[in-house]
């Protein structure tokens, strides 16, 4: 399989993150800069952590027979730029220079199509459980690095840019532990 998301010299890949290239990305619109970071939460299967489901989803290798829920999302073509696992380990699926397909139908500050100007960060988690200290530590390190590289103006939850459609990162995400405002 040929992946088209390996762009540029460093291509927007963050040193220190485990690279797991996803085909679920494309070019950002011309002259568009990254200004927003969108925080998400995901667990696959729902409420379970540590398995291959998230990586398989983001790389289009999800086996619909591995879990009943996977049949419902079969054929979904999505990916974030980053995933922060429960233990704080960091994976990168899409270089920051490219548009990852993470936000879907979305609006921020009157602008639609948030994928055009955002970086998506998934935290391994769900709406029913608190996130781990290691995740906040890794997330803050990642945000510091992104702010050094891009003119980040704000952080938002997926629920903020897609209200009524999305609930993540959920009620247990503590915005006070993150460098920035939602």
Annotated catalytic, 122?
yes
Q: Which of 4, 48, 72, 122 is catalytic?
A: 122
Alpha carbons 151 and 149: distance in angstroms, whole number: 7
Contact call for residues 168 and 157 (beta carbons, < 8 A): yes
Beta-carbon contacts of residue 94 (< 8 Å; ≥ 6 apart): 5, 21, 22, 24, 25, 79, 80, 81, 100
Alpha carbons 121 and 42: distance in angstroms, whole number: 10
Peptide bond before 12: cis, by omega within 30 degrees of 0? no
Q: What are phi and psi of 75, to 5 degrees?
A: 85, -5
Catalytic residues: 122
């Amino acid at each position: 399989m040929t992946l088209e998301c390996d762009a540029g010299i460093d291509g927007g890949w963050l040193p220190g993150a485990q690279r797991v290239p996803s085909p679920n990305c494309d070019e950002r619109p011309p002259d568009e800069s990254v200004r927003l970071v969108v925080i998400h939460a995901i667990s696959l299967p729902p409420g379970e952590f540590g398995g291959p489901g998230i990586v398989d989803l983001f790389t289009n290798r999800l086996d619909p027979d591995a879990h009943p829920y996977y049949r419902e999302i079969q054929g979904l073509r999505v990916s974030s730029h980053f995933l922060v696992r429960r233990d704080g380990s960091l994976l990168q699926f899409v270089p920051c220079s490219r548009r990852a397909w993470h936000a879907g139908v979305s609006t921020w500050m009157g602008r639609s199509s948030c994928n055009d100007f955002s970086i998506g960060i998934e935290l391994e988690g769900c709406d029913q459980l608190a996130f781990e200290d290691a995740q906040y530590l890794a997330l803050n390190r990642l945000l510091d690095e992104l702010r050094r590289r891009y003119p980040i103006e704000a952080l938002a939850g997926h629920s903020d840019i897609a209200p009524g459609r999305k609930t993540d990162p959920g009620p247990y995400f503590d915005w006070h532990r993150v460098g920035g405002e939602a």
